[in-house]
Chains A and B, each alone.
Chain A
Amino acid sequence: MRRCTHCGACTAACIRGALKIDAKSGTVSYDESLCTYCNACIKACPARALTNTNQIRRPYVSGERLSETYESR
């Protein structure tokens, strides 16, 4: 599993604005309430850090739920 580099490429694919890059910290944030689980971010992630599972279509980063990962930064 590769690591998220916070490059921000996933935010370009997220048309709902669930993934955003914070202008000050330069880190990606994830708002699950806006996520439609379209998974466009997974294909757009150059680091291949995002995945999902067959059971739950929610995107994961480096094995953790996106929100948990990004909130811990």
Chain B
Amino acid sequence: MTVKKTFEEINEKIRKGNAVVVTAEELADIVEEKGISDATKYVDVVTTATFGPMCSTGAFLNFGHSDPPIRMEKVELDNVNAYAGIAAVDAYIGATETSKDRDIEYGGAHVICNLIDGKKVHLKAYSRGTDCYPRKELDTYITKDTINEAYLFNPRNCYQNYSAAANTSDRTLYTYMGVLQPCLGNVNYSTSGELSPLLKDPYLRTIGIGTKIFLAGAEGYVSWQGTQFASGKPRGENGIPLSNACTLAVIGNLKEMSTDYIQPAVFEKYGVSMFVGIGIPIPVLDSDLLSNLSVRNKDIYANILDYSVQSNNKPVLAQCSYEELRSGYVSIEGKKIKTSPLTSLYKSREIAQVLKGWVAEKGFTLQPPIAAFPKDVSLKSLGKRGS
């Protein structure tokens, strides 16, 4: 008999504390022992997670009004520019913005983490002054407790698959995919593979606007499709896209976050980024979904791109599975090449376990998507148009 469960049935079990919750890695052993059908009956929720560098991260802050008030037109936080073209005392601090005095060694990501840690951050604001907002300059210190709202809003996180990087040129490349040694000296990849949220629900049946998630140690939400969302990318037989595909925009209360699960990332000769910890609980609604959830690294594939080609369309050098990438070596044209991850499997596992505890023991119920994401979306590129 076909097993079907609803969000509400699963949430009822979560409320009563008797839902069976496992991580995506633990599920594999259960499926091996029980088979798909019995595992679908047995498991209610599977937790997935990732902790990798995600540039498209930042925070909205509302500083509160000074007296006399100021309409902030330019805002600096610890000498890092924040975007102030919003309203009088609102600003957005982007993780990748670099400081005026410390270059890439300090940026928006560091400011965000200092705020999360409760540290003082130096606020400087400038304005032309108006009749209703007469102040022209402000120089003060803030903490997360002295300001009104502080929430992370990340336009593009949690990539569904991401191509690995290599370098066929004769010089070392310094990229957002880490150090790429010359002459195919290494391959870098960035995903938690079989633990990665969007690889485990490849058609996003349970993930959409409103999905409740773990975001940097706090409860967060999926707010929209992420930028560069591409649900129309070619997929393998198991439904998993073979290259960079869907993404998520996520939101959560910065004041409740922990720097155990979000951290600045500085890439040599590139810039600042941010390690972001995201966990998504996926309900086992039926055996199709459980089959998706039980896909292993050996059946998830990624392209290896040549970053020495300075084009948006980098050539594919090879395709390999995440099992090969994680083994430490891949083979390209008969050459054995060392692999290195950029996403922390160690932290991803920790997040999957923490989220498992939230769902199993702390009543963290699952929110069905308020609206689903669009299908078959393709990416537009910025071509030369007009003169």
> With an 8 A cutoff between CB atoms, is B69 at the interface?
no
When chains A and B are docked, how far (Å) is the Cα of A26 from the Cα of B178?
A: 18
When chains A and B are docked, how far (Å) is the Cα of A73 from the Cα of B263?
A: 20
Q: Are A26 and B263 in contact (CB under 8 A)?
A: no
Q: Could you tell me the distance in whole angstroms from the C-beta of B27 to the nearest C-beta in chain A?
A: 18
Instruction: List the A side residues contacting B181 at CB < 8 Å.
Output: 12, 15
> With an 8 A cutoff between CB atoms, is A18 at the interface?
no
> With an 8 A cutoff between CB atoms, is B108 at the interface?
no
> With an 8 A cutoff between CB atoms, is A57 at the interface?
no
> With an 8 A cutoff between CB atoms, is A27 at the interface?
yes
Interface string of B36-64 (1 = CB under 8 A from A): 00000000000000011100000000000
Query: Which single member of B179, B266, B347 contacts A6 (CB below 8 Å)?
Result: B347
Query: Contacts A13-B179, A44-B268, A47-B263: A7 and B344 contacting too (C-beta < 8 A)?
Result: yes
Give the residue name and chain of the B residue nearest to A28 (CB).
B346
Q: Are B188 and A12 in contact (CB under 8 A)?
A: yes
Q: Are B326 and A23 in contact (CB under 8 A)?
A: yes
Query: Which single member of A3, A11, A23 contacts B263 (CB below 8 Å)?
Result: A3
Interface string of B251-289 (1 = CB under 8 A from A): 000000000000111111000010100000000000000
When chains A and B are docked, how far (Å) is the Cα of A67 from the Cα of B181?
A: 25
Q: Are A7 and B266 in contact (CB under 8 A)?
A: no
When chains A and B are docked, how far (Å) is the Cα of A62 from the Cα of B51?
A: 19
Q: Which of B143-151, B227-235, B335-343, B353-361 touches A?
A: B335-343
Instruction: List the A side residues contacting B338 at CB < 8 Å.
Output: 11-12, 17
Instruction: List the B side residues contacting A13 at CB < 8 Å.
Output: 178-179
When chains A and B are docked, how far (Å) is the Cα of A5 from the Cα of B178?
A: 15
Query: Which single member of B263, B267, B341 contacts A8 (CB below 8 Å)?
Result: B341
Give the residue name and chain of the A residue nearest to B180 (CB).
A12
> With an 8 A cutoff between CB atoms, is B79 at the interface?
no
Give the residue name and chain of the B residue nearest to A40 (CB).
B179
Q: Are A44 and B179 in contact (CB under 8 A)?
A: yes
Q: Are B343 and A7 in contact (CB under 8 A)?
A: yes
Q: Are A26 and B267 in contact (CB under 8 A)?
A: no
- Of residues 15 through 33 on chain A, the ones whose CB sits less than 8 Å from some CB of chain B are 15, 17, 20-21, 23, 25-27
> With an 8 A cutoff between CB atoms, is A58 at the interface?
no
- Choose among A6, A7, A17, A21 the residue with the greatest number of B CB atoms under 10 Å from its CB: A7
> With an 8 A cutoff between CB atoms, is B91 at the interface?
no
Q: Could you tell me the distance in whole angstroms from the C-beta of A24 to the nearest C-beta in chain B?
A: 9
> With an 8 A cutoff between CB atoms, is B368 at the interface?
no
Give the residue name and chain of the A residue nearest to B270 (CB).
A46
Query: Which single member of A5, A9, A23, A40 contacts B346 (CB below 8 Å)?
Result: A5
Q: Are A11 and B340 in contact (CB under 8 A)?
A: yes
Instruction: List the A side residues contacting B344 at CB < 8 Å.
Output: 5-8, 26
- Of residues 35 through 52 on chain A, the ones whose CB sits less than 8 Å from some CB of chain B are 40, 43-44, 46-48
Q: Are A5 and B263 in contact (CB under 8 A)?
A: yes
Q: Are A46 and B349 in contact (CB under 8 A)?
A: no
Give the residue name and chain of the B residue nearest to A12 (CB).
B340
Give the residue name and chain of the A residue nearest to B268 (CB).
A43
Q: Are B267 and A46 in contact (CB under 8 A)?
A: yes
Instruction: List the A side residues contacting B275 at CB < 8 Å.
Output: 5, 7, 46-47
Q: Are B185 and A25 in contact (CB under 8 A)?
A: no
Give the residue name and chain of the A residue nearest to B349 (CB).
A26
- Choose among B105, B178, B188 the residue with the greatest number of A CB atoms under 10 Å from its CB: B178
When chains A and B are docked, how far (Å) is the Cα of A7 from the Cα of B188?
A: 11
Q: Could you tell me the distance in whole angstroms from the C-beta of A38 to the nearest C-beta in chain B?
A: 12
When chains A and B are docked, how far (Å) is the Cα of A2 from the Cα of B274?
A: 13
Q: Could you tell me the distance in whole angstroms from the C-beta of B101 to the nearest C-beta in chain A?
A: 17
> With an 8 A cutoff between CB atoms, is B294 at the interface?
no
A-B contact pairs, 17 of them (CB 8 A): A5-B263, A5-B275, A5-B344, A6-B345, A6-B346, A7-B51, A7-B342, A12-B186, A12-B188, A13-B178, A21-B341, A26-B341, A26-B345, A27-B346, A46-B264, A46-B266, A46-B342
